[in-house]
Homo-oligomer: A and B are copies of this chain.
Amino acid sequence: MSLADKCIITAALAGAATMKSQNPAVPYTVEEFVEEAYKCYNAGAAIVHIHARDPETGLPTSSIDVLREIVKGITEKCPIIINLSTAIGIGATPEERINVVKQLKPEMASLNTNSMNFALGDWKNYQILGETVFTNTFQMLIEFAKTMKECGTKPELEVYDLGGVYNTLFVRNQGIFVEPLHYQFVWGVLGGCWLDLANFKRFMDLIPEDATWSTCGVGPAQFRGAFIAAVEGGHIRVGLEDNITIKKGVLAQGSWEQVEKAVKIVELADREPATPDEARQLLGLKGGPEI
């Protein structure tokens, strides 16, 4: 199978908001992160996406030391690509957010592209259970991109709405990115864009022709998007960060179980999951972390 037909599966292990109370497989400790990443690698993931957690409280942390331990532990265990979040969690400052890249110079890091409401909703009674303004100014987009370029880190452009896509197209003209671009389409955040074939096609049509893209989505939008990506030439992100279930009403045993499901989808679509090295080729990555 040609490299172009391979599908890159990313596992987003924890995120900033999913807690063990929702799914006990969410990693908090370094050991849990390493173990979960290794299982995802064995299941077929080429990339793990990491938000570090405070091992005691389980809350997201901007501690570089904790994050370094996680990266080191995963790297020693397997060649999976490490993609670090520069969102970290509510309350992280811009400095803390980009510090992750400056200190650890990962192969990949997320780069958020627009400010927006980021809410948790009760979809039965249509109440807002909690919300924050997720701030990602143009200045941050530009500065983060420049730092990533200096650090040899490939940005994964997180687009939650059309505005985010247009923002990247505008600043791209400044030459701050190493081309081609790589996008993550994020579906179903309350405050962002919901999944719909027409919305999906808009995102696909608007990004540069040589850009690569992946899909992730909140709850049911996770695998719904994965099906579409599998046959439309995209890549797939799964993981407990976005969805705690493996199917309707059934908790996933871990992000690795969702990776296994993604592999089945990819194979039914006559593609194969990319190995980490194949993903490195597809995305133009520099290679393993400098730990």
Contacts and interface: CB of A to CB of B under 8 A. Distances in A.
B193 A163 contact: yes
A137 B127 CA distance: 13
A149 interface: no
A190 interface: yes
Interface residues of A, number: 57
A245 to B, nearest CB: 10
A142 to B, nearest CB: 7
A242 to B, nearest CB: 16
Contacts of A160: 163
A95 to B, nearest CB: 17
A247 interface: yes
A126 B191 CA distance: 27
A205 B205 contact: yes
A197 interface: yes
B174 A127 contact: yes
Contact of A170 (B116, B121, B200, B231): B121
Contact of A268 (B126, B163, B202, B268): B268
A138 B162 contact: no
Contacts of A133: 115, 133, 135, 137
A115 to B, nearest CB: 5
Contacts of A131: 137-139
A192 interface: yes
A-B pairs with the 8 shortest C-beta distances?
A126-B173, A197-B201, A198-B201, A224-B231, A227-B231, A162-B193, A161-B163, A128-B138
Interface of A: 114-117, 119, 121, 126-128, 131, 133-139, 142, 160-163, 166-167, 170-171, 173-174, 190-194, 196-202, 204-205, 223-224, 227-228, 230-232, 247-248, 261, 264-265, 268-270
9 contacts: A117-B136, A127-B174, A138-B190, A160-B163, A162-B199, A163-B191, A198-B198, A223-B269, A265-B268
